[in-house]
Structure 1
Amino acid sequence: MRNAVEGRLWLGKERRAFLGHGRMELLKKIDETGSISKAAKAMKMSYKAAWDAVDTMNNLAEKPLVERVTGGKGGGGTRLTAYGREVVETFRVLEEEHERFLRNLSQRINAKDGHLRLLKSMSMRISARNQLAGEVIRIKRGAVNAEVTLRLKGGHPLTATITNESLDELDISTGSRVYALFKANALILSTETNVKLGVENRFEGVVERIEKGSVNHEVVLELEGGTRLCAQLGTSALRMLGLKAGMKVNAFCKANHIMIGIY
């Protein structure tokens, strides 16, 4: 029996998985069809899962990969940006080189007739709906905890509270590139412009879409600069706020609800 080396290519930022074959196929389908719903159908995935993947890619990329198109003969749609097409083409070239490397490695293993135990690295998937890349611009240490303030894409500040021990273990300093992670139910939404809740983080955005479920509903907000946040609301809260696509809202999040990760 011949030994074979198999592997999957992921495009990442240092040690952080970012784009893989599945996401690239989704981007290609969006480019071909001009519609995220058609792309999701072709990929046999839900419309919500497709949008979740697009939001994550747009939030983590230096520039948006996908953008909405309004108006026109078809009434609008979704398309790749010029930067998105460049990323897809770059991945295609890398994938070809990756396959060539695996073929060569398989040949070398079989040529030596070795019985190798190939170790497969474990990858971690995070359930937090909001995953945002940012640069540390300020650190304020206290007796036990430290406030770490990031600058997100679009210039939005975000403050997280972590222990001084975690700050030292992660070796975070001003200028570090990190990720802010928090769940959708950590966001509080309000349609009042002057409301004050006494929390560290406040974002002004526009409702992009609402994904309704049987019990809970996801509200996706777009901030200036392209960052997207996802909030989770119950039916009564959604009805009380009267949210609709295009509405301006404020989103609030406590600093101690936000986790910090490095890549």
Structure 2
Amino acid sequence: MDIPATPPIIRRLRNNRAEAKDEPATPRLVAGDIRLIGGLNERLFQLLAAIESSGSINQAARKIGLTYKGAWEMIERANNLSPKILISTATGGRLGGGTRLTPAGKDFLQLFIRIQEEHRNFLEQINDRLMNNRDIVFLLRKLIMKASARNQFFGKVSQVSTGAINVEVTVSLKGGAIIVAAITRESAESLAIKSGADVVALVKVSQIIIVTDFGGYRLSARNQLQGTVSRIQKGEVNAEVVIELKGGNSVVATITNESLQALELTTGKPATAVFKAGAVILGAAS
């Protein structure tokens, strides 16, 4: 049995959907699907398009990955919500189904395709505007990133010192604070680390030591971020201490309740977050 050629309207619907899924040449910062009132979404219109193409509810359901029952439930809901019947059925269809779009159903499908095209053009315009704003792009990229490390510092590489084995990377944060990371040369090359690059520095809370009085001693740890205790969350055994830095960044550390008491930490007290350069994990936008 020959399968009829795909009508132009169906190709347009597929092309619109495919273009929305394809990864754009530039990062897409805003994305969204079309949902009509009553819970009618793009899946319904994929079904309508498949019915128009095949003339069979059974084949249309298989084409878009629905069960026969699921397709009928979607059709019944759409018919009930619409002022006019969208899909009609009759015996003796050309492919054994006999399911057809009514004139109202065809008009509805055409309307959705036009809305879909306008929606895609609208998103492209919004993304183009956002991509021209460097601060917005950087902010949204930060929000996309997911990592288990509580401490995530976004900054700019201000210095790169390459040694025989490791590379020392200095990251400048807002407010003038700096973080030094020691990574392998292979990692530096893989991340394309260079002066001026935007990076994120990740540090686990367990890697941070809090110091309130150096007692005349100097520490070997490269990172010593001075700030003020802004919040303390005490638990059964440990306490979470947040130190706010001058530029607005916050450092989170976990210490025992005994240490909390020994350091006499309270909100508003000056404190320094200390951690080694090797405890810093760097990330760079691809």
Change in 2 beyond 3 A, CA 1:116/1:165: farther
Q: Does residue 106 in structure 1 map to residue 128 in structure 2?
A: no
SS at match of 1:202: strand
1:167-224 C-alpha deviation (Å, 9 max, x unpaired)? 1111121111111001112111111165421111111100001011111111001001
What is the deviation of 1:109?
2.4
What stretches of structure 2 of length at least 5 have no aligned partner?
A: 1-16, 18-25, 51-62, 67-143
Partner of 2:156: 135
Greater helix proportion: 2
RMSD: 2.8
What stretches of structure 1 of length at least 5 have no aligned partner?
A: 6-13, 18-93, 118-122
**How far apart, CA to CA, are the structure 2 residues paired with 1:242 and 1:147?**
34
Instruction: Report matched runs for 1:73-152 at 5 Å.
Output: 98-100=32-34, 105-113=42-50, 114-115=63-64, 125-152=146-173
**How far apart, CA to CA, are the structure 1 residues paired with 2:192 and 2:154?**
17
**How far apart, CA to CA, are the structure 1 residues paired with 2:217 and 2:46?**
65
Q: Which runs of 4+ in 1 moved over 6 A?
A: 14-17, 101-104
SS at match of 2:247: coil
**How far apart, CA to CA, are the structure 1 residues paired with 2:65 and 2:146?**
28
Partner of 2:268: 246
Q: Does residue 260 in structure 1 map to residue 260 in structure 2?
A: no
Greater strand proportion: 1
What is the deviation of 1:164?
0.3
1:130-167 C-alpha deviation (Å, 9 max, x unpaired)? 01101111110111110011011212111001100011
Change in 2 beyond 3 A, CA 1:105/1:192: same
**How far apart, CA to CA, are the structure 1 residues paired with 2:28 and 2:263?**
37
Instruction: Report matched runs for 1:185-200 at 5 Å.
Output: 185-192=206-213, 195-200=217-222
Instruction: Report matched runs for 1:163-182 at 5 Å.
Output: 163-182=184-203
Change in 2 beyond 3 A, CA 1:15/1:181: farther
SS at match of 2:231: strand
- Structure 2 length normalisation: TM-score? 0.53
Partner of 1:215: 237
What is the deviation of 1:116?
5.5
**How far apart, CA to CA, are the structure 2 residues paired with 1:247 and 1:136?**
30
Higher RCO (CA 8 Å, separation ≥ 6 residues): 1
Identity %: 36
SS at match of 1:98: coil
1:44-98 C-alpha deviation (Å, 9 max, x unpaired)? xxxxxxxxxxxxxxxxxxxxxxxxxxxxxxxxxxxxxxxxxxxxxxxxxx6xx72
Partner of 1:225: 247
Q: Rg larger in 1 or in 2?
A: 2
**How far apart, CA to CA, are the structure 2 residues paired with 1:126 and 1:232?**
18
- Structure 1 length normalisation: TM-score? 0.57
**How far apart, CA to CA, are the structure 1 residues paired with 2:28 and 2:252?**
21
Instruction: Find 1:155's aligned residue among 176, 179, 186.
Output: 176
**How far apart, CA to CA, are the structure 1 residues paired with 2:188 and 2:277?**
15
SS at match of 1:174: coil
Look up the equivalent residue of 2:64 and give its one-letter code. Answer: H
Change in 2 beyond 3 A, CA 1:145/1:127: same
Change in 2 beyond 3 A, CA 1:139/1:262: same
**How far apart, CA to CA, are the structure 2 residues paired with 1:124 and 1:133?**
11
Look up the equivalent residue of 2:203 and give its one-letter code. Answer: F
Change in 2 beyond 3 A, CA 1:149/1:15: farther
What is the deviation of 1:229?
0.3
**How far apart, CA to CA, are the structure 2 residues paired with 1:244 and 1:138?**
35
Look up the equivalent residue of 1:228 and give its one-letter code. Answer: S
**How far apart, CA to CA, are the structure 1 residues paired with 2:169 and 2:204?**
18
